[in-house]
Amino acid sequence: MHEFSNKLTCIPCLILLVFMFARCENKSRVSADNAPKTNPPVLVDVMIAEKEPINNTVEANGTVIASEFVELRPEVSGRLIYLNLAEGKLIAKGTVVARVNDADLLAQMARSKVQLDLSQKTVDRFKQLLDVNGLNQADYDVALNQVNTLKADMVYTRAMVDKTVVRAPFSGVAGLRQVSPGAYVTPATIIATLQQTSDVKIDFTLPEMYSNDIKTGAIVNVELDAATQQRGRAIIIATEPGANTNTRNLKVRALLKGTKANPGAFVKVYLDAGKRRSSIKVPASCIIPDDKNSQVILVKNGKANFVNVQTGLREASTVEILEGIATGDSVVVTGVLFARPKAALKVRSVKKLSALKAAADGTGL
């Protein structure tokens, strides 16, 4: 009986111990859930910054324009009575391309001619009378003024007749015709275009940092067709005196002689910017553009360090760094989008710039 009583006493103790153990386990689980979570480090590849030779051949995008270009328009309004325009053919300078109806102007000129002849005869008679004091000077002056007025009217009418004729201002190739004979035209009407394409001009822009290398008479190489690698040599003939306030670029114009190129075509322009130099280069993909600055990510003590950089020459897949990076810095080249300031980083591998360039250019992996 005493043994059974001891067993009954132990049962509540066991239940209490089980309850206390479950509660402690629950508290430890809650504590573990409430503990601050740490994000795993971001896997990145880096390159070690080092100076490399910079090719000072500057590449720019250019546009072909005709050496001379004009929209052929009439100077007066009227019906088009003559049109001599061979589309796509060479037209010599001074060729009459079109003529606007000038019948009313010719009639006005004929009338003025008759009035002038009559007034001139009157002046001649008045002059004879004036010489013998048979007429006062005032009457003679009135008649002479009438003659001069009619002469001025005829000069004006003749000028208006000349304006009805549209001539080619220079030798060039005619474009597509925009009107037909019999159409009513105004000074706003474009009859056709005329372009001189025996020589063409190349317009392109360069950063103002190369202003000292852009000189009138300097030679630039022009790639006309990337597929056939057709190239030509153009001579710089002019530069805009001021830089664009938005892009800080200078607009340059070069003359390309003896090479067939269509106005409006896209070309690549290459300018030799002088002596070679050494500088740090990084892949263009690791540059983070900002409103005011460009940034790259450096690995410092295992964390992401965002630094502002000043960029220089841009090539197809690399960018020159003028300020912000020192030789030996570890520059993040992959995983840039996932890194955050001061976030933990784990370096997966160290890449060579040559391998990164080859991968970006499609010449290697």
Is residue 169 pLDDT above 90, yes or no?
A: yes
pLDDT in tens, 336-350: 999 999 999 999 999
Task: Confirm whether 20 is domain-assigned.
Answer: no
Is residue 2 pLDDT above 80, yes or no?
A: no
Same domain, yes or no, for 92 and 164?
yes
Same domain, yes or no, for 281 and 341?
yes
Instruction: Kindly tell me the sign of the dihedral angle through the C-alpha atoms of 7, 13, 16, 20.
Output: negative
Same domain, yes or no, for 283 and 268?
no
Number of domains in the chain: 3
What's the pTM value of the predicted model, to 2 decimals?
0.60
Same domain, yes or no, for 244 and 324?
no
pLDDT at 365: 40
Q: Which of 34-48, 111-125, 187-201, 228-242 has the lowest mean pLDDT?
A: 34-48
Give percent of the chain above pLDDT 90.
Answer: 58
Task: Confirm whether 3 is domain-assigned.
Answer: no
Same domain, yes or no, for 180 and 74?
yes
pLDDT in tens, 265-324: 999 999 987 666 788 999 998 999 877 788 999 999 999 999 999 988 777 788 889 899
Q: Which of 48-52, 54-58, 150-154 has the lowest mean pLDDT?
A: 54-58
Q: Which of 54-58, 83-87, 101-105, 284-288 has the lowest mean pLDDT?
A: 54-58
Q: What is the residue range of 329's domain?
A: 43-55+277-361
Give percent of the chain above pLDDT 70.
Answer: 86
Mean pLDDT of the chain: 86
CA atoms within 13 A on the CB side of 355: 10
pLDDT in tens, 187-224: 999 999 999 988 999 999 998 888 888 889 999 999 98
How large is the average pLDDT for residues 9-20?
53
pLDDT at 135: 82
